[in-house]
Amino acid sequence: MKNSTIAIWLFLFNGLYLLTLFAYPIVLMMSVFMFDAPTSYDYASNYAAVSLLMSYPIAVLGSLSCWGFYHKRKYKWAIAMANLLLVWVALFILVLIVNSILPF
């Protein structure tokens, strides 16, 4: 029998990630305003933030690979792959913080 507790957590994580994809087009359309200021094209951090925003669906689809590990009974890898999107979120927050402190 497979671990049902892990399956519940994987359903919750993946359901939450898939729900965020509904708001993704709006966020992506609003990301154009990062280049609103006349000098904002000079900062590489703006390009990094927009690139991270554009790659968000890839991270969500990558986190769905956790089910392959779950069916192979590699539960630790399944949880790691399900939480892979959190690394993307942390990286995006880090880029925004660095951009506000030290624009590069």
Reported pTM: 0.75
What distance in Å separates the CA atoms of residue 40 and residue 44, rounded to the nearest whole number?
9
Q: Tokens for 69, please give them.
A: 């590990």
Q: Tell how far CA 70 is from the center of its chain.
A: 21
CB atoms under 10 Å from CB of 82, counted, come to 24
Type of residue found at 6: I
Structure tokens at 14: 């993946």
Token look-up 């939480």 returns: 83
Size (the chain), residues: 104
Digit-coded pLDDT (tens) for 28-44: 999 989 888 888 778 88
Which domain does 42 fall in, by range? 4-101
Tally of domains within the chain: 1
* pLDDT over threshold 90, residue 98: no
- 58 burial (CB, 10 Å; 0-12 / 13-18 / 19+) is exposed
pLDDT at 15 (0 to 100)? 94
pLDDT per residue over 52-75, tens digit each? 899 999 989 999 999 999 999 999
8 Å CB contact between 57 and 24: yes
